Amino acid sequence: MSKWRQRLERIEAGDSQTKDQSGGGFGNFDSFGKAVRPKALKPANPTIRIGPDYSDPLDVVDWFNERAAIIEEGCAVSRQEAERRAYECLIVDWLNRATSKQEDSTRCVRCKSAVSDQDAVPVLDGKGGHYVIHDACWPAWMRERRAAAEKALAAYGLSSG
Ligand SMILES: [Zn+2]
């Protein structure tokens, strides 16, 4: 097993040896110049909902329109550009939610065949874990997931254009 995979598994398991114990420092280095892993970001209140409630179609459309209005005003962009960005926010939110834990990290999440340390790529799953996928499978997997997200959002009457 490669070092990066061991390290990822330790981090996800909450192993204290992988956490920053330097007690501070500057940037990503402690006061002795030793590289320090940044502290994990945690939401201040994990109950705060970032995306819409997908069980309520009106909530999805309301969320989209509200987000587009915020972007339009806050970023001083056209309504069309604001809606494009709001749509991309929904794509990311949907992708983060449409994940499940990879049961077998020795097999590619897309093609299910064995992965070696030479051709495996860890991809964050949006829920604090990761998927292991073949380097060659990654582009197609992302296209497939994006298409699934677009199809899901189309059910709410939302599209990219
Ligand atoms: Zn694969």
103 CA from centroid of ligand 1 (Å): 15
Q: What is the pLDDT of residue 152?
A: 93
Residue range of the domain that includes 148 = 42-154
In this structure, is residue 23 part of a structural domain?
no
Beta bridge pairs of residue 130? 124
In this structure, is residue 2 part of a structural domain?
no
123 CA from centroid of ligand 1 (Å): 13
24 CA from centroid of ligand 1 (Å): 40
Does the reported pTM lie above 0.75? no
In this structure, is residue 96 part of a structural domain?
yes
**Is the model's pLDDT at 38 over the cut of 50?**
yes
Q: What is the pLDDT of residue 48?
A: 53
For 121, the token pair is: 């790529």
**Is the model's pLDDT at 20 over the cut of 50?**
no
The phi, psi pair for 64, rounded to 5°, reads -60, -50
CB atoms within 10 A of CB 109: 22
- The DSSP bridge pattern shows strands 130-134 and 120-124 to be antiparallel
140 CA from centroid of ligand 1 (Å): 10
In this structure, is residue 37 part of a structural domain?
no
In this structure, is residue 25 part of a structural domain?
no
Q: Residue with structure tokens 């280095």?
A: 29
- List Cβ neighbours of 57 (8 Å cut-off, separation of 6 or more): 155, 156, 157
- Which helix (H) or strand (E) segment holds residue 133: the answer is strand 130-134
4 CA from centroid of ligand 1 (Å): 19
Q: Residue with structure tokens 């990290």?
A: 105
155 CA from centroid of ligand 1 (Å): 29
CB 28 within 8 A of CB 39: no
In this structure, is residue 137 part of a structural domain?
yes
- Smallest CA-to-CA distance from 79 within 87, 69, 91, 88 is with 69
In this structure, is residue 62 part of a structural domain?
yes
Higher-confidence residue of 124 and 49: namely 124
Lowest mean pLDDT among 33-47, 54-68, 72-86, 129-143: 33-47
Q: How many CA atoms lie within 13 A of 151 on its CB side?
A: 7
Q: What is the pLDDT of residue 98?
A: 82
In this structure, is residue 16 part of a structural domain?
no
**Is the model's pLDDT at 12 over the cut of 70?**
no
112 CA from centroid of ligand 1 (Å): 6
6 CA from centroid of ligand 1 (Å): 20
Number of domains in the chain: 1
137 CA from centroid of ligand 1 (Å): 5
Q: What angle do CA 119, 149, 104 make, to 5 degrees?
A: 35
Alpha-carbon gap, residue 29 to 20, rounded angstroms: 11
CB atoms within 10 A of CB 149: 18
